[in-house]
Amino acid sequence: MRLLEAAIRHPRLKADRGALSAAVGLLDRNAGGFMGGCPPGDLSVAFLTDGALARLHGRFLDDASPTDVITFAGDPALGQAGEICVSADAAARHAGGSARDYSRELTLYVVHGWLHLAGYDDTRPAAKRAMRRAESRAMRLLERSACIPRFKLA
């Protein structure tokens, strides 16, 4: 069982950390269906504002434009799986105002980051299609198991 650190850095986001841990645990238990899954070790998920994520994007990827997810690989030899940074604001824009859709969208961003750590890439068309298929499988797995964490942007 991995240690999951959920850093809520968005001032208006309310999140169920236990449900997030359960969702990541379910993905981990089904890692064989996702290129072996996220590497072993501690995993950090940071929920940020658009501005904070854009600053990370600029600092580490030389692109200060807004984005929805950035993933940083960890060092499994040091017990670190990596860090997934997501924009709670981007999820709100894409969800269209529905609380259920917001929780699903923000969960999709976490899944996307977890899949990046598992080795999926979305920079080339064929790789992007494989990423989208894996995202769909992961989201179906979470939905069938009633493991979509509840998030609320107050």
- Domains in the chain with CATH codes: 4-145 (3.40.390.30)
Q: Is the pTM of this model over 0.75?
A: yes
Q: For 61-91, what is each residue's pLDDT tens digit?
A: 999 988 999 999 999 999 999 999 999 999 9
Tokens of 102: 């917001």
What b/e sequence results for 62-99 when a residue is b if at least 16 CB atoms lie within 10 Å of its CB, and e otherwise?
eeeeebbbbbbebeeeeebbbbbbbbbbbbbebbeeee
Degrees (nearest 5) of the Cα angle 152, 131, 134?
75
DSSP codes of every residue in 21-44: HHHHHHHHHTGGGTTT-SPSSEEE
CA angle 11, 15, 21 (to 5 degrees): 135
Q: With cut-offs at 50, 70 and 90, classify the pLDDT of residue 13.
A: very high
